[in-house]
Structure 1
Amino acid sequence: MSATEIRQQSNNVPLGIVLMIATTVVFAAQDGISRHLAGEYNVMMVVMIRYWFFAAFVVAIAARARGGVAAAARTAQPGIQIIRALLLAAEICVAVLGFTILGLVESHAVFACYPLLIAALSGPILGERVGWRRWSAIGVGFIGILIILQPGFGVFDPWAIIPLVSAVMFAVYGLLNRYAARRDSTATSFFWTGTVGAVLMTAVGVWFWEPMAPRDWGWMLTLCVTGVSGHWLLIRCYEAAEASAVQPFAYFQLVFASAMGMMLFGETLRANVAIGAAIIVAAGLFTLWRERTQR
């Protein structure tokens, strides 16, 4: 899925774009494997094992940095760090549940609205000013969501709200990242994200443990590897180029995940989903462009 902003070491935009597209490919593969495993086993167990590897990764990164684990764990706002880490872990569970119920195509089409939600919530949460142009883009984006969900056409499926709930949770998480970055480094936020999430998912996931077929342990290992490599690529991406320059290319995850859903899981791309997703992406790109020009 996305991550916190990383301190830029350079501004090599072409390299950043390549790394962002590679990141979206890896995260799309991760979502596809999550959909398969969560369809066979409990979502909590799948996310728990994934977090074990994620926690090991962030601890290894912290141990190699200056000051070691102690420096990475040092924070002036432990409450905020814990809340944002718990929120991300819960959001991942909701997102994976959405993959199993609605599929990758529809879930990602709705989830693509999260940049619009960040823009809408940045005013009340962070006190940022949102102008009428961005509010207009947000309104257009939500028209796209309504086109996808189609409330009022026949019997409305309440499960269709799952990816929207996931997008709201991830948007709040993204805003808490910005808030935490005012006093803590990215390394600190990254460390708390992995470790606190692993503690939470272990406390919950062990109660849902199920025997796993040998072939699926291979998929689980691949899921963990894609999770770690995806975060590593994202870190390298934001080190190589400014976030505002490469963030629009994160929408490629919608394309790759949807293609995977159709080719591997037999999902279909309904006309209303395609139209709604196109509207959401266009509104999101405009919002990102406005934010960059204002900066």
Structure 2
Amino acid sequence: MPTRFSLSPRVQGLLLMLGAAALIAATSLMAKALGRGLGGPELHPAQVSAGRFCFAFATLVPILIWVRPSFRAVPWPVHIGRSFFGWIGVSFLFAAAAQMPLADANAISFLSPIVTMALSIPFLGEKVGPKRWSAAALSLFGALVLTRPGTEAFQPAAVLALLSAFFMGIEVIFIKKLSDGEPPLRILAINNGIGASISLTVAAFFWIAPSPSQWLLLAALGMTMVTAQFCFILSMQRADASFVIPLLYATPVFAALYDFAVFDQQLTALSAVGVAIIITGALILVRRERAAKLRAQARKD
């Protein structure tokens, strides 16, 4: 009898993380299409962000009804902080994506680990060594190569992407506080529920009636994002974080391919160098942070 083909958990983790990267890049493509008025009027980033959170939460509702997770002893202040800064970060990323090449916007958003690293010193009591600071400096150099401030090639939208990275970096501080004891489904449900409430309130001030095709795209944006989040969680459950996380940095690569296919946006050679430098620095940061965490656990044991 032939044995049924199956993938090892590590390979499953890699494929799931690669899928998460592809889906995250797809959400920025959808945001760009909505922000540029593809198939209807140009939608404000706050309205696009509202679609992302509301339809993501709507996708989760049937799962929540079926699973019925407990919502007792929820650390609400941490959840609210995470959701608030996550919403701001996503909104700025969507605003940047509508105005600049997707690969550039996504790559700049990956500067967020630098913000997290810097804030982890006062808020989490972590120690940051020279190697991690060197990796941060490398990523910042890549951002300078990519944005080229002070030259005619500078894109004002890059400031929006930098703000996105800043707020997403703050969000990760809250996620670290939640990661030890909070069930993943509860984190997703609360994050998207609070995000939907905040984003709808803000979007009301900028509301423009979307076309039917834009409603479908907003729904697809929300469902794609929550699917990406599930892929990320499943990947982390199947393999060690230091093994699978590097594939998440394929997001700008997927974004560049999507941007070229839909908007005929070509990545320049200098931009490609900047993207590569940012990703290299961020990957070094992730690996150094993982090594530091393992050393801290070993000292406790």
Q: TM-score range by the shorter chain?
A: 0.7 to 0.9
| 2:201 alignment counterpart | 203
Amino acid at match of 1:245: F
Q: 1:25 to 1:157 in 2, by over 3 A?
A: closer
Of 13, 16, 29, which residue of structure 1 is paired with 2:26?
A: 29
Aligned residues: 281
Of 98, 101, 109, which residue of structure 2 is paired with 1:100?
A: 98
Superposed CA deviations along residues 180-214 of structure 1, whole A, max 9, x for unmatched, are 33454433332220111111112122333322223
Under a length normalisation based on structure 2, what TM-score does the superposition of the two structures give?
0.85
Amino acid at match of 2:44: N
Contact 2:147 2:153 in 1 (8 A): no
Amino acid at match of 1:121: L
Contact 1:120 1:138 in 2 (8 A): no
How many Å separate the matches in 2 of 1:77 and 1:64? 23
Superposed CA deviations along residues 6-61 of structure 1, whole A, max 9, x for unmatched, are xxxxx922110011111111221221111101222222222212222222234443
How many Å separate the matches in 1 of 2:88 and 2:232? 21
Contact 1:16 1:241 in 2 (8 A): yes
| 2:5 alignment counterpart | none
Moved more, 96-105 or 182-191: 182-191
Report SS of the residue matched to 2:205.
helix
How many Å separate the matches in 2 of 1:111 and 1:86? 17
**What displacement does 1:130 show?**
1.1
**What displacement does 1:136 show?**
1.0
Report SS of the residue matched to 1:234.
helix
How many Å separate the matches in 2 of 1:221 and 1:182? 31
Of 277, 280, 283, which residue of structure 2 is paired with 1:282?
A: 280
Contact 2:249 2:279 in 1 (8 A): yes
| 1:132 alignment counterpart | 130
Q: 1:218 to 1:62 in 2, by over 3 A?
A: closer
Contact 1:112 1:254 in 2 (8 A): no
Amino acid at match of 1:137: A
Contact 2:104 2:252 in 1 (8 A): no
Under a length normalisation based on structure 1, what TM-score does the superposition of the two structures give?
0.87
| 1:44 alignment counterpart | 46
In the alignment, does 2:25 pair up with 1:54? no
Of 255, 258, 263, which residue of structure 2 is paired with 1:257?
A: 255
Superposed CA deviations along residues 77-108 of structure 1, whole A, max 9, x for unmatched, are 32221111111112111110001112312212
Gaps of 5+ in 1: 1-10
How many Å separate the matches in 1 of 2:18 and 2:155? 33
Amino acid at match of 2:13: G
Q: 1:101 to 1:245 in 2, by over 3 A?
A: same
Moved more, 212-221 or 199-208: 212-221
Of 17, 20, 42, which residue of structure 2 is paired with 1:20?
A: 17
Moved more, 13-22 or 97-106: 97-106
| 1:165 alignment counterpart | 163
Report SS of the residue matched to 1:160.
helix
**What displacement does 1:141 show?**
1.3
Amino acid at match of 2:21: T
How many Å separate the matches in 2 of 1:109 and 1:172? 17
How many Å separate the matches in 2 of 1:189 and 1:77? 10
In the alignment, does 2:241 pair up with 1:239? no
| 1:4 alignment counterpart | none
How is 1:49-198 mapped onto 2 (pairs within 5 angstroms)?
Answer: 49-65=51-67, 68-69=68-69, 71=70, 73-154=71-152, 156-182=154-180, 184-198=182-196
Moved more, 176-185 or 104-113: 176-185
Gaps of 5+ in 2: 1-7, 38-42, 295-301
Superposed CA deviations along residues 212-267 of structure 1, whole A, max 9, x for unmatched, are 22333332332233123222222221222222221000011110001111221122
